[in-house]
Amino acid sequence: MEGPTSTGIPNRKLAMWTFIGSECMLFGTLIATYMIYRGRNLVPPYPHDLLNIPFITVTTFVLLMSSLMMVLALAAVQRNDLRATKLWLSLTALFGLIFLGGQYYEFNHFVHEGLPLSRNLFSSTFFVLTGTHGAHVAGGVIWLSTLLVRTVNGKLDARHAETVEIAGLYWHFVDVVWIILFTLIYLLV
């Protein structure tokens, strides 16, 4: 039944883009909330007491590079070069994990510095915004891992390049969101 489509774009790919369009509103609202409440926090600690730019720059860089790994994985699977596919896929997932590790460390640090989720307006907006993004990254890592497993079991090759491409779209979007958060939360502190 999944024959040629009216637009020529495969259904699942179109769906992923549509989903991404919808996600824009999700993160848009979260970002709007964060920006509106910027500087309205009444109870210490305040953002500039805690945010650690150099540290977050590193994890940001890692996530950015994971996007490169992702496209390379796609290129590889399209060439049906499965060894490379495995390599790049695992690196993408790994970089994602590193980013998550960084976020875990950051959250943990904040909590110890006296900023639990319920502490003040800053903690509320910061944790929910970055947490939502983190959850998206985690989801992506799991998704990539399943692809990796399927490649290792020889269940995924050039014929499934589309599947990898779609996972990639999701991954890049999550990366794009972080590009924005990095600037708005950390650099414009």
Which residues ranging from 11 to 40 are in contact with another protein (CB under 8 A)? 11, 13-15, 17-33, 35-38, 40
147 neighbors 156 (Cβ within 8 angstroms): yes
Q: Which residue has the tokens 């509106």?
A: 36
* Positive or negative torsion for Cα 141, 146, 150, 152: positive
175 sits near another protein (criterion: CB under 8 A): yes
Least Å from the CB of residue 65 to another protein: 7
Of the pair 25, 112, the CB lying nearest another protein is at: 25
Q: Which residues contact 165 (CB under 8 A, 6 or more apart)?
A: 13, 74
41 sits near another protein (criterion: CB under 8 A): yes
**Near another protein in 112-141, by CB under 8 A:** 117-118, 120-121, 123-125, 128
Selection from 21, 180, 28, 50 nearest residue 115 by Cα: 50
**What letter would DSSP give residue 160?**
G
Least Å from the CB of residue 99 to another protein: 14
**Near another protein in 83-112, by CB under 8 A:** none
71 sits near another protein (criterion: CB under 8 A): yes
Of the pair 15, 108, the CB lying nearest another protein is at: 15
64 sits near another protein (criterion: CB under 8 A): yes
Selection from 144, 71, 148, 133 nearest residue 102 by Cα: 133
153 sits near another protein (criterion: CB under 8 A): no
